[in-house]
Structure 1
Amino acid sequence: MTDLGLPAVPPRSDLSMGDGLAFAARGHHFTAAPGTDIQELAQRSTEPLSAILQVTKRCDFDCSFCSEVLQLPDPKLTQLETMRDHLKGTKRIFLSGGEPLMRRDFGEIVDMFADDNFVLAVPTNATHGLQHAKRIAGKVAFANIGLEGPRGITNRVRGDYDKVMPGVRALQDEGIPISLSAVVYRSTLAALPFTVQIADVLNAGKVKLIMPLRKGNALNLDANEFITDGEASEAFGRLGELRSTYQWSPALRLTTWTPENEGHMIVVEPTGKANAWPVYDSKDLFEPIGNVLEEPIQEIWKRYRFKENHYRKYLGASIRAIGHGGGGCAA
């Protein structure tokens, strides 16, 4: 669902993946050839487009929306090596957390996955960017930074703005492209233009807006903080108008929790347990589908019941999008 008529950063050359699919913007997001039948493509696929691998559950922030509050031991490098082998065929891997850069051996983990089999991305709060930027430069396609807006908003909702920004600059100094992700509350709606302005100053490829889910710390949020899909779409539309007026360059993305987006992510926990996420009628929003310490992703994919949702989301068919983006992923 792409809004037309607004300025867009020209797309970069694509890297073909076969079946009419490609990585665009040097591997930052997926595209499909015009007229591609996503349902048919999803049903005959043998592995996912993208997976999230939690290399730790630890984090140095305590975000008010965090869903991943259950702590588990970090997987050993030997276990991650097995997971890597079993994830081959997956086009993109997010090396995630918790806060993945808290692992002192994160550079070794990146080296382990940085080959022709995967495009790598890192969701991070960037507080440990200074320690890892040089080691991971040239090996990860982009870093996705969690930031809800100006200092006061980020400090209230997520963590310490003044710890985030030096890490962001360190990543950028090493040539690592960035994008921003912001979890949206009713009380942060007014901050969204400032978030996009910050992204524009940072030359971020996109700003991705996400609604909180009722799990973990978010169970303690006031019910008024959860906006409706309609309110989210209205706010997104206003933000698109401001993007046009002020000629902000980052692309904008909005994901809401509709039936089209249920279960679209595959999340692999530190134990190797693979889950569809978010599955709305599951107690913890996780639906177990296998374990990548024990079997390859192709076998797990056979049991995954959200194939079409997965493909539709990552090909941008079930999200709202403005602009192509220059340095981040579209989906």
Structure 2
Amino acid sequence: MTMLGMPAVPPAPPQVAGPVAFTAGHHFTVTGAASIEELAEAATVPLSVILQITKRCNFDCSFCSETLQLPDPTLPELDTIRSNLAGVGRVFLSGGEPLLRRDFGDIVDMYSPDFILGIPTNATRGLQHAKSMVDKVAFVNVGLEGPRATTNRVRGDYDQVMSGVRAFLDAGLPLSLSAVVYRSTLHALPFTYQIADVIGAGKLKLILPLRKGNALGLEANEFISIDEAGRTFDRLMEARSTHDWRPALRMTCWTPETEGHMILVEVTGKASAWPVYDAPDLLEPLGNVLTEPVTEIWKRYRYKRNHFAKYLGASIRTAANAGAPASDGHVGA
């Protein structure tokens, strides 16, 4: 059976009929007594899919895994993909940098009636596209590694990013932040959390880099261990309590419990489980949503439990936004 009757319309947090809901912290939560295993076994479609609408980007992030350049999918191709993703709860319209597409507003209009939409972006085209997302996307997720010097070194132009953030705020769009964590950026994380709090972000998502693309050129010392990641999370939780920071905090580490949890749809329609550690380019092919429905892709997907566990916060470190119940913060809990 299909698990989710989605979506509802932003800007209010979308509510989902069934055992899973989408929260003000911009993540899923279980509303009933079903276990992760029961939810995964009963589902016929994913909770969430990442759809690349372009490979192009105007930044050259030092951690970027998406360095292969391919032509953008056409609007008719994206409409076919939309139809074949029927039943999926949330779709990330991703890239590359998705807002580089001049027809980005048309794509949002195409997908917003059928899905909860998340938009991962570097925000540099925020002024051009903010209005096209109002009342159509659940949240915009802006990549930011910290204050100006840190973001400039790791990602790209901090001032361009913050200009886009201000445009999103002026339009009333719900925001979250994500930061890729290096050893050399650990000192900046409290400032990143402070920025997230100042802009009223629903969550701050911390991600460890994967050894692919540009990240293959990172010094080995930049990759922190799982234990270090845990201590980092705990220190941020202590600071959160001290400073009363409100955004939800989530940290994804690359462990057996999170392997393959994402379903990535590339610009060609090719769907893959990601990241699969022993697979070429960390991608395990599942099929193509230009030619078949996601229900068939799901049947071949062997990480169903990891998918549900990660997106429901059971295999990552997580703490809810202020005023909501928090988990104990342990990986795999």
- Residue among 91, 108, 111 paired with 2:109: 111
* Residue identity opposite 1:110 in structure 2: V
Secondary structure in structure 2 of the residue aligned to 1:63: coil
Q: CA deviation at 1:43?
A: 1.3
Whole-Å separation in 2 of the counterparts to 1:61 and 1:16: 35
Whole-Å separation in 2 of the counterparts to 1:132 and 1:225: 34
Residues 103-150 of structure 1, C-alpha deviations (whole Å, 9 max, x = no match): 0000000000010x2101100000000000111111011000000000
Counterpart for residue 158 of structure 2? 161
* Contact 2:246/2:321 (8 A) holds in 1: no
Q: CA deviation at 1:33?
A: 2.9
Residues 303-314 of structure 1 mapped to structure 2, 5 A cutoff = 303-314=300-311
Counterpart for residue 70 of structure 2? 72
1:239 aligns with 2:236: yes
Whole-Å separation in 1 of the counterparts to 2:125 and 2:14: 31
Counterpart for residue 27 of structure 2? 29
Query: TM-score, length-normalised on structure 1?
Result: 0.92
Q: Which has the higher contact order (CA 8 A, sep 6+)?
A: 1
* Contact 2:26/2:203 (8 A) holds in 1: no
* Contact 1:205/1:325 (8 A) holds in 2: no
1:15 aligns with 2:12: no
Counterpart for residue 258 of structure 2? 261
C-alpha RMSD of the superposition? 1.5
Residues 1-331 of structure 1 mapped to structure 2, 5 A cutoff = 15-18=15-18, 20-25=19-24, 28-115=26-113, 117-324=114-321
Q: CA deviation at 1:163?
A: 0.5
Deviant stretches of 4+, over 6 Å: none
Whole-Å separation in 2 of the counterparts to 1:72 and 1:39: 37
Residues 88 and 200 of structure 1: CA distance in aligned 2, closer, same or farther (over 3 Å): same
Secondary structure in structure 2 of the residue aligned to 1:121: strand
* Contact 1:289/1:304 (8 A) holds in 2: yes
Whole-Å separation in 1 of the counterparts to 2:247 and 2:158: 20
* Residue identity opposite 1:264 in structure 2: H
Q: CA deviation at 1:325?
A: 6.0
* Contact 2:26/2:202 (8 A) holds in 1: no
* Residue identity opposite 1:94 in structure 2: F
Q: CA deviation at 1:14?
A: 6.8
Q: CA deviation at 1:198?
A: 1.0
Structure 1: gaps spanning 5 or more residues? 1-11
* Contact 1:206/1:251 (8 A) holds in 2: yes
Secondary structure in structure 2 of the residue aligned to 1:208: strand
Whole-Å separation in 2 of the counterparts to 1:16 and 1:236: 29
Secondary structure in structure 1 of the residue aligned to 2:102: coil
* Contact 2:14/2:116 (8 A) holds in 1: no
Q: CA deviation at 1:17?
A: 2.7
* Contact 1:183/1:209 (8 A) holds in 2: yes
Structure 2: gaps spanning 5 or more residues? 1-11, 328-333
Secondary structure in structure 1 of the residue aligned to 2:257: helix
* Residue identity opposite 1:50 in structure 2: S
**Matched residue pairs, number?**
313
* Residue identity opposite 1:159 in structure 2: G
* Residue identity opposite 1:95 in structure 2: L
* Contact 1:196/1:248 (8 A) holds in 2: yes
Secondary structure in structure 2 of the residue aligned to 1:15: coil
* Contact 1:17/1:23 (8 A) holds in 2: no
Secondary structure in structure 1 of the residue aligned to 2:87: coil
Query: TM-score, length-normalised on structure 2?
Result: 0.91
Whole-Å separation in 2 of the counterparts to 1:237 and 1:24: 23
* Contact 2:120/2:140 (8 A) holds in 1: yes
Q: CA deviation at 1:16?
A: 3.2
Secondary structure in structure 2 of the residue aligned to 1:111: helix
Whole-Å separation in 2 of the counterparts to 1:217 and 1:324: 33
